[in-house]
């Protein structure tokens, strides 16, 4: 009961001090990580046992399904308008380039990590989350176009990377080689699960989306009941997909896209508020859990330097170089390019990716992954939570005209 008490008390403390903390440039994730570090240091072995349990794995998977669904439904503009210009460059060019660059760095440097572990760390380090809880822009002004491009990138990149993560975990598992034919075999084996997931996601999102819309229009449902129905969709699509041996993460993500498309512009008022509020609450809990996991690593005497070096590469050149290359030839300004290359905060998806990998792999692979995740997330909190306002003020002065 103690972990539950700590989590609830920490969330309540954030709720009653949110605006005050924001004025001091202290984000919710910063607060929760601090609480998590203390909790993990005090609880010690008990926290380690929890992260190794099947309950932690199932909880992490459900949270990821919910977060993917939230990312898919958050945009109001048409899908064609979203995936155009710089946004599609960030997803189609910068994202795979980052993945390849980080993986190559891990494979070429003498780090003693298997290809599968390196690929897992790359999947954890690549997703960006341009949310107000992670990027503080006080003291400057970011153009709406840049915020929109980065928000679209953050909304879709974790959904695109989730199947790659599962392939990476399979490669990292004992008994799996690193040869190219092993990678090809795993990818081919994953195709049926991906196809099933897409079909389940499309059917669930479209059918349930139409059902909710018709029910609301005919006044069989009200706004509150519709919100509850929307909250059930990611859980429903994930569960159905897993039951038929499909990829539950892809199903939840596609379900969100299908739901948004069938709703159109005349969406049910406040339809996503419940699921978004729950996502924000789970986000805080994830950062608390991350702090506790980091405390476990600090209490150990293992040699983490290979994972730490790879993580530092991932959050610097691993982000900046691919973004700058992907925007060559685009109509974006030099200032916009520099800002987008520098701002790539890591969010809850990276934490969930790490927890899933840690729960599914032996400890000799799991702990280096957690170590790399700790460096990635902590550096992101400092760079983007504290450095974000400075960079924004420098590149976009308050009196500039966009």
Residues 6+ apart with CB under 8 A from 66: 234, 235, 252, 275, 278, 279, 282
DSSP state for residue 300 in the 8-state scheme: -
User: Global pTM?
Assistant: 0.78
**pLDDT, tens digit, for every residue of 77-96?**
666 666 668 888 998 999 99
Least confident of 133-147, 202-216, 238-252: 133-147
pLDDT of residue 97: 95
Domains, the chain, in order of start with CATH, read 31-127+142-395 (1.20.1530.20)
Predicted confidence at residue 48, as pLDDT, reads 57
The helix/strand/coil state of 32 is helix
Mean pLDDT, the chain, as a whole number?
79
Span 178-196, average pLDDT: 65
Most confident of 40-49, 156-165, 251-260, 370-379: 251-260
Residue 144 has pLDDT above 60, yes or no: yes
CA dist 232 to 29, 167, 250, Å?
26, 28, 16
Query: Which whole-number Å values give the CA distances from 338 to 144, 185, 226, 344, in the listed order?
Result: 16, 39, 42, 11
Task: Note whether 169 and 120 are within 8 A (CB).
Answer: yes
3-state secondary structure (DSSP) of residue 244: coil
Torsion (CA) 160, 186, 237, 217 in degrees, nearest 10: 50
Phi and psi dihedrals of 65, rounded to 5? -60, -40
Q: Is the pLDDT of residue 2 over 70?
A: no
Question: Would you report the helix, strand and coil content of the chain in percent, each value rounded to 5?
Answer: 75, 0, 25
Binned at pLDDT 50, 70 and 90, residue 100 comes out as very high
For 64-76, what is the mean pLDDT? 79
Radius of gyration of the chain (CA): 21
Q: What is the pLDDT of residue 327?
A: 92
């Amino acid at each position: 009961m103690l972990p539950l008490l700590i989590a609830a008390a920490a969330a309540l403390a954030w709720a009653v001090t949110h605006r005050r903390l924001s004025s001091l440039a202290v984000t919710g994730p910063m607060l929760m990580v601090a609480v998590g570090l203390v909790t993990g240091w005090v609880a010690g072995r008990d926290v380690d046992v929890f992260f190794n349990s099947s309950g932690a794995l199932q909880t992490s998977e459900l949270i990821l399904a919910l977060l993917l669904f939230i990312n898919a439904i958050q945009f109001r503009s048409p899908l064609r308008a979203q995936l155009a210009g710089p946004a599609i460059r960030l997803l189609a060019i910068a994202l795979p380039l980052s993945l390849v660059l980080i993986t190559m760095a891990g494979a070429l440097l003498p780090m003693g990590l298997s290809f599968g572990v390196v690929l897992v760390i790359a999947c954890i380090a690549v997703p960006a989350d341009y949310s107000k809880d992670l990027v503080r822009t006080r003291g400057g002004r970011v153009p709406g176009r840049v915020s929109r491009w980065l928000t679209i990138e953050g909304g879709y990149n974790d959904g695109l990377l989730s199947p790659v993560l599962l392939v990476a975990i399979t490669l990292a598992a004992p008994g799996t080689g690193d040869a190219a034919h092993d990678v090809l075999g795993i990818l081919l084996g994953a195709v049926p699960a991906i196809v099933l997931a897409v079909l389940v996601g499309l059917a669930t999102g479209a059918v349930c989306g139409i059902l909710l819309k018709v029910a609301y229009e005919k006044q069989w449902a009200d706004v509150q009941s519709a919100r509850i129905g929307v909250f059930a969709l990611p859980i429903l699509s994930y569960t159905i997909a897993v039951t038929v041996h499909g990829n539950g993460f892809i199903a939840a993500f596609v379900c969100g896209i299908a739901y948004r498309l069938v709703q159109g512009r005349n969406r049910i008022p406040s339809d996503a508020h419940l699921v978004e509020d729950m996502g924000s609450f789970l986000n805080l809990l994830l950062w608390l859990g991350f702090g506790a996991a980091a405390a476990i690593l600090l209490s150990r005497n293992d040699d983490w330097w290979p994972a730490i070096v790879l993580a530092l590469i991932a959050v610097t050149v691993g982000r900046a170089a691919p973004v700058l290359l992907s925007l060559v030839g685009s109509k974006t300004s030099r200032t916009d390019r520099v800002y987008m290359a520098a701002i790539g905060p890591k969010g809850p998806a990276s934490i969930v990716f790490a927890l899933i990998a840690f729960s599914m792999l032996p400890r000799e692979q799991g702990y280096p992954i957690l170590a790399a995740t700790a460096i990635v997330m902590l550096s992101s909190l400092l760079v983007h939570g504290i450095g974000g306002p400075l960079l924004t003020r420098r590149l976009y002065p308050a009196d500039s005209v966009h």
